[in-house]
Amino acid sequence: MSPSGLRLKKTVVDTPVQSHVLARWPANETIALIFDDIAELLAVQGANPFRIRAYHNAARTLRGLTFELAKLIAQGKQPAKLRGIGKDLLGKIQEITTTGDCALHQRLRESMPGLVQLLAIPGLGARRVQHLYQELGIQTLAQLREAARNGRIRQLRGFGEQMETHLLKATQGAVGEQRLPLARVMPLARRLCEYLQQFPGVRSATVAGSLRRMRDTIGDIDLLVTAPPAIEVMAHFLRYPAIKTVLQQGSTRASVILDDGLQVDLRLVDPAVEGAALVYFTGSKAHNITLRLRAKKQDLKLSEYGLFKGRECLASASEAQVYQALGLPWIAPELREDRGEILAAQKGQLPCLIEPGDLKGDLHAHTPPGGGPRALEDMALAARAAGLEYLAITDDSAFLQSGQGPELERLEQQIERIDAINRRLSGITLLKGLEVEILEDGRLDVPDSLLAHLDLVVGVVRKHFALPSPQQTRRLLRAMEHQYFTVLAHPLCRLINERGPLALDFPAVVKAAAQRGCCLELNAQPQRMDLFDLQCQYARDHGVLISISADARSGEDFDYLPYGIGQARRAWLEKSQVLNTRSLTQLGDYLRTVHGKA
């Protein structure tokens, strides 16, 4: 065991010591930790063992002192000769006393940043790190995790299966592992739930954790299964074909990794405590903590097994009972982030959240590329099947500019096609829209004279994502000033795991949208989820209407709408704050007003 790396990580390394935050001089222990760290790093490099030992010995001497050495040095006093601390090391101590660190230490850390992180894992000392490097070429956390996943660690002398599992756990989340988009994970989790539910005796299998809270990205899948004690559901779970590695298994809990790398945590409880377990396992952790504190104030104890007064269980069977016994109404999972929901619940001020069935239409959709002559109609039918009453076709404005013929003619052809479909189909109305590009300077790539023929215009940034904030903000503000601009689509342009959000003065964009009366989109494409919850809430708070859209490119894409609703609920949105919950007539009124056509 070599915990020094870990201790250092907390005390010295990750918080660079700056002289103005020091308690005037570094403690003996701080200097000793730096020396231990130097020794470990030298060992990983395969340095001379005497040199390595010299640093460890000096650390030991420092820990045994009855006075603070750095204080003495800071006072300009000469310390008496100390065992194992010669001129060279004393020089380093002086350096640490004045700067908080020494150059050798910094140089060693900088020369092998990956190895420094490996050393910080409890159980990985210099010798093991060196071994990993020599045998498997492992220099980074990511490489270590990969090797552990592939079962290569257990083959190493002195490591074994237990160590491999330990390293897999220790590196989880530490390597900037990607969180996956909600819509990619939910279907997998639901399939697993169905599999579990099929097992005779199982009462329920429920998705919990961040999935149930509809977070935009998911770290791992949490499932809660209820069954009477005698049911062998755990063995059934471990037989699930897509399981690659079993990290942990017991009679009431198991953690596995699926073929695609996703982790699944399963908890099995008695049906009698389903509600309490579900509250616990749904989280978030922050919500749970605040809830437990509330229980404590009432002299109660809340756990995954129930709400207790002394040994008496007051509630456990359903979530509603647990919340009720705490003096609260049931709180929707999407709100459970400790963002004021418990106080709002207590005051009876929880929002009346938007529901999936509230959406009447979608204002941003494309004709599938290569969809043939029936593509428009297919989209209309798919939207109708998804329960929508209207759908705006907002093809990319590029279709006007490419090919032959004047732009107006091409636009008129599209409008005629839509009119024909509207005459033919009942129960769904296609609206005439366009997705226009917001050019670098904020102009739109289609003139107002053409946009005037449309019902609505969706503006998007397609290029120049990296403009500095003032320029990007100006660009969007200018775009929104256009008379026929209706919706700013995916305003932040982030792509989960691929592209961060635009640098923007977001409040300025929201303010402009509110003044102009145009709306901001909550795009429900799995990788977008843009606006995301907190921004969406901010926009709502400042009087901006939100348009929830699947940005569909095929009929199946309407399945993404519930995830958009999930985000909207996380943003505390009510039905009235979402434009496309309005009837077609109400929408028409809104569009005429915002475009100055009223």
What residues make contact with ligand DGT under the rule CB under 6 A?
A: 209-210, 215, 218-220, 222, 280-281, 283-285, 288-289
Give me the least distance between CB of 401 and ligand DGT, in Å please.
43
Give me the least distance between CB of 338 and ligand DGT, in Å please.
11
Q: Which does 288 bind (CB under 5 to 8 A by kind): Ca ion, ligand DGT, none?
A: ligand DGT
Q: Which does 40 bind (CB under 5 to 8 A by kind): ligand DGT, Ca ion, none?
A: none
Q: Centre a 10 Å sphere on the Cβ of residue 150 and count the other Cβ atoms it contains.
A: 10
Nearer to Ca ion, 220 or 530 (CB): 220
Q: Whose CA is closest to 595, among 421, 431, 379?
A: 431
Give me the least distance between CB of 207 and Ca ion, in Å please.
10
Nearer to ligand DGT, 40 or 222 (CB): 222
Cα 285 from chain centroid? Answer: 14
Give me the least distance between CB of 224 and ligand DGT, in Å please.
10
Residues forming a β-bridge with 430: 391
Q: Which does 506 bind (CB under 5 to 8 A by kind): ligand DGT, Ca ion, none?
A: none
| Rounded Cα gap, residues 394 and 400, in angstroms | 12
Nearer to Ca ion, 265 or 437 (CB): 265
Cβ-based neighbours of 44, under 8 Å, separated by 6 or more: 112, 115, 119, 126, 129, 130, 133
Q: Which does 283 bind (CB under 5 to 8 A by kind): Ca ion, ligand DGT, none?
A: ligand DGT
Q: Which does 560 bind (CB under 5 to 8 A by kind): ligand DGT, Ca ion, none?
A: none
Nearer to Ca ion, 532 or 590 (CB): 532
Q: Which does 37 bind (CB under 5 to 8 A by kind): ligand DGT, Ca ion, none?
A: none
Q: Note the helical H segments in 347-427.
A: 375-385, 398-401, 407-424
Nearer to ligand DGT, 191 or 285 (CB): 285
- Please, how many CA atoms are within 13 Å of residue 8, restricted to the half-sphere of its CB? 26
Gyration radius of the chain's alpha carbons: 30
| Rounded Cα gap, residues 252 and 233, in angstroms | 10
Give me the least distance between CB of 207 and ligand DGT, in Å please.
10
Give me the least distance between CB of 178 and Ca ion, in Å please.
14
Q: Which does 140 bind (CB under 5 to 8 A by kind): Ca ion, ligand DGT, none?
A: none
Q: Which amino acid is at 7?
A: R
| Rounded Cα gap, residues 34 and 52, in angstroms | 13
Q: Torsion angle of alpha carbons 330, 336, 341, 342, nearest 10°?
A: 60
Nearer to Ca ion, 179 or 301 (CB): 179
Q: Which residues bind Ca ion (CB under 5 A)?
A: 209-210, 220, 222, 265
Q: Which residue is nearest to Ca ion (CB)?
A: 209
Cα 360 from chain centroid? Answer: 29
Q: In the chain, how many H helices and how many E strands? A: 26, 17
Give me the least distance between CB of 255 and ligand DGT, in Å please.
10
Q: Which residue is nearest to ligand DGT (CB)?
A: 283
Nearer to ligand DGT, 286 or 466 (CB): 286
3-state DSSP helix/strand/coil percent for the chain, to nearest 5?
A: 50, 15, 35
Give me the least distance between CB of 208 and ligand DGT, in Å please.
7
Nearer to Ca ion, 216 or 222 (CB): 222
Give me the least distance between CB of 249 and Ca ion, in Å please.
15
Nearer to ligand DGT, 23 or 534 (CB): 534
The dihedral through the CA atoms of 579, 580, 582, 585 has a sign that is positive
Interior/surface letters 256-290, b for 16+ CB within 10 angstroms, e for the rest: bbbeeebbbbbbbbeeebbbbbbbbbbbbeebbeb
Give me the least distance between CB of 531 and ligand DGT, in Å please.
20
Nearer to ligand DGT, 183 or 544 (CB): 183
| Rounded Cα gap, residues 461 and 488, in angstroms | 9
Q: Which does 281 bind (CB under 5 to 8 A by kind): Ca ion, ligand DGT, none?
A: ligand DGT
